[in-house]
Amino acid sequence: MTGIVALYIFMLAAFTGYEVISRVPVILHTPLMSGSNFVHGIVLVGAMVALGNAQSELEKTIGFIGVLLAAGNAVGGYAVTERMLEMFKSSGSKGGPKKGAH
């Protein structure tokens, strides 16, 4: 990947992120923050490559910590986001709480 192409990707991705979020209602701020937190868990693939290429003991140790943290970011981010969004239901939806149900 040449530098200028990387910059194009950077610019377009930045606009995309802005547009995707721009009309989000306040009710979804917390789950969305959690969801975007999950998305940067993609750092896991980078950490895997870093550890996979590590040579010295020091590099291996830090790479190991990196993969461990990244896996925590990805898995934890998914777990909490999914739990929060699972609960959002409209009164019309089938899975929604029935009147009088407890």
Partner 1 sequence: MPSALDRELVIQASYLVTAFLFIVGLKRMSSPVSARSGILWAGAGMALATAITFIYPGLSNYPLIIIAIIIGGVIAWVSGRRVAMTDMPQMIALYNGMGGGAAAAIAAVELYRGEHLPLPIAILAVIGGLIGAISFSGSLIAFGKLQGLIKRSFRFGGQQILNMLILLAALILGALLAHGIYSSTGFVTAFFVVALVLGLSMTMPIGGADMPVVISLYNALTGLAVAFEGFVLGNAAMIIAGTVVGSAGTLLTQLMARAMNRSLGNVLFSGFGDTGGAAASGAVTGSMKPIEAADVGVMMAFSQKVIIVPGYGMAVAQAQHKVWELCQLLIDRGVTVRFAIHPVAGRMPGHMNVLLAEAGVPYDLIADLDEINAEFETADVALIIGANDVVNPVARNDKSSPIYGMPILNADKAKNVIVIKRGQGAGFSGIENALFYLDNTRMLYGDGQAAVSQLIQAVKAV
Cα(76)–Cα(81) distance, integer angstroms: 8
5 to 34, contacts with partner 1 by CB under 8 A? 6, 9-10, 13-18, 20-34
57 to 76, contacts with partner 1 by CB under 8 A? 58-60, 62-76
In the complex, the smallest distance separating the C-beta of residue 2 from partner 1, rounded to whole angstroms, is 10
**Residue 94 near partner 1 by CB under 8 A:** no
Residues in contact with 65: Cβ distance below 8 Å, sequence separation at least 6, in sequence order = none
In the complex, the smallest distance separating the C-beta of residue 5 from partner 1, rounded to whole angstroms, is 9
**Residue 4 near partner 1 by CB under 8 A:** no
